[in-house]
Amino acid sequence: MEDFEREYVNSTAIINTYLTRATLKEAQELKKIIDEEIIYDNFRLIIDLSLCEFIDSTFLGAIVYGHKKLLQNNGRLNVIMNFEANTDLFFITSTFRLLNVFSTREDAMNGFEIPDHIIIKVAC
């Protein structure tokens, strides 16, 4: 099975990750995928990390990279995350203040309809 799979729902590109550990190698691949989506004018992007048990700082950096690139193009990045497994890194780096993080796909899809400044992030 591939580490990443792309899916398209309405006008949203969803990057499903089949990783238990996301590190430098996977971060480079994620950046490449994000760049390709932007080239093809896909500016609503969800990264599904719900299966991931460990995210290192380089992979988190790739997510932040995608967030910034999409903002530059008036787009938006939403992340689906396993809160039980990954909260430490997100809190240590204060990334929760920057990214739109959700616990389910439905919430992430609905999150595109909510302005960034209204999203309330709650630690579980």
Q: Calculate helix-pair angle for 57-72, 24-39, nearest 10 degrees.
A: 10
Q: Three-state SS for 104?
A: coil
Q: Is residue 106 part of a domain?
A: yes
pLDDT score, position 81: 86
Q: Record the tokens describing residue 31, joined without a space.
A: 């950046």
Amino acid 123: pLDDT: 43
**CATH number for the domain harbouring residue 113:** 3.30.750.24
Give strand ranges (E) for 10-102: 12-17, 21-22, 44-49, 54-55, 76-81, 100-102
H/E stretch holding 5? strand 4-9
Between the alpha carbon of residue 32 and those of residues 25, 66, 92, 102, the distances in Å are 11, 10, 26, 23
- Within a domain: residue 123? no
CA separation for the pair 101, 122 (Å, rounded) = 9
Does residue 124 lie in a domain region? no
Tell me if residue 4 falls in helix, strand or coil: strand
Question: Domain containing 95: what range?
Answer: 4-118
Question: pLDDT (tens digit, 9 = 90+) per residue, 79-123?
Answer: 998 766 655 655 656 666 678 889 899 999 999 886 654 444 444
Q: Is the pLDDT of residue 5 over 60?
A: yes
Q: What average pLDDT does the chain have?
A: 85
- Residue 21 inside a domain? The answer is yes
pLDDT tens for 57-67 read 899 899 999 99
Domains: count for the chain: 1
101 occurs within a structural domain: yes
d(CA 71, CA 86): 24
